[in-house]
Amino acid sequence: MRTRIQNIIMTPGVREEKHISFVNDAEIHIHGNRIVYAGKKECAPAFEADQVINGGGALAMPGLCNMHTHTPMTLLRNVGSDLDLNNWLHQAIFPLEACLTDEAVRAGTDLGIMEMLSFGTTSFCDMYMHMDAVAEGVLHSGMRALLGHGIVDFDGSCADLEPGIAFAKKWHKAANDRIRVSLAPHSEGATTPEVLQKVEQWAGKLKIAIHTHVSETQFDVNGCIKRHGMTPPQYLDSLGLLSHPIVAAHCVWFTDKDIALFAKRGCTIVHNPISNLKLASGIAPVHKMLQAGCKVAIGTDGVASNNNLNLWEEMKLMPLLQKGTMLDPKVVSPAQCLAAATTVGAEAMGYVDLGLLKEGYLADLILLDLNQPSVVPVNDMENNLIYATLGSHVKLTMVDGKVLYQNGQFTTLDGKAVLARGARAAQELAEKAIAKAAENV
**Which residues have CB under 8 Å from 59's CB, separation 6+?**
8, 9, 10, 11, 22, 367, 368, 370, 385
Q: Cα separation of 335 and 329, whole Å?
A: 14
Q: Residue 440: is its pLDDT beyond 80?
A: no
CATH, range 2-63+356-410: 2.30.40.10
Kind and range of the H or E run holding 431:
helix 415-439
pLDDT one-digit tens code per residue, 80-98: 888 888 888 888 888 888 8
Q: Is 108 helix (H, G, I), strand (E, B) or coil?
A: helix
CA distance 271 to 298: 5
Mean pLDDT of 384-389: 96
- For 440, other C-beta atoms within 10 Å of its C-beta total 6
How much is the pLDDT for 441? Answer: 60
- Helix, strand, coil shares, percent, the chain, to 5: 45, 25, 30
Which pairing describes strands 184-185 and 210-214: parallel, antiparallel, or unpaired? Answer: unpaired
> In this structure, are residues 253 and 270 in contact, taking their beta carbons and an 8 Å threshold?
no
User: Counting every residue, how long is the chain?
Assistant: 441
Q: Give the start-to-end residue ranges of the domains of the chain.
A: 2-63+356-410, 64-348
CA 86 to CA 147: how far, in whole Å?
Answer: 24
| Sequence-distant (≥ 6) Cβ neighbours of residue 145 within 8 angstroms | 123, 124, 125, 126, 134, 135, 138, 178, 179, 180
Could you tell me what percent of the chain has a pLDDT over 70? 100
In whole numbers, what is the pLDDT of the chain averaged over residues?
96
Q: Indicate whether 439 pLDDT > 80.
A: no
pLDDT of residue 318: 98
Superfamily per CATH, domain 64-348: Metal-dependent hydrolases (3.20.20.140)
**pLDDT per position as a tens digit, 30-78:** 999 999 999 999 999 999 999 999 999 999 999 999 999 999 999 999 8
- Rounded to the nearest 5 degrees, what angle is found at the Cα of 344, between the Cα atoms of 340 and 350? 150
Residue 261 has pLDDT above 90, yes or no: yes
Give the lowest-confidence range in 77-81, 123-127, 236-240, 325-329: 77-81
Q: What is the pLDDT averaged over residues 283-306? A: 97
Q: What is this structure's pTM?
A: 0.96
Query: Terminal CA-to-CA distance of the chain, rounded, Å?
Result: 60
pLDDT, one tens digit per residue, over 297-337 is 999 999 999 999 999 999 999 999 999 999 999 999 999 99
Q: Does 14 score more than 90 pLDDT?
A: yes
Confidence at residue 117, expressed as pLDDT on a 0 to 100 scale: 98
The residues, ordered by sequence, that sit 6+ positions from 205 with a Cβ below 8 Å of its Cβ are none
Using only the alpha carbons of the chain, give its radius of gyration: 21
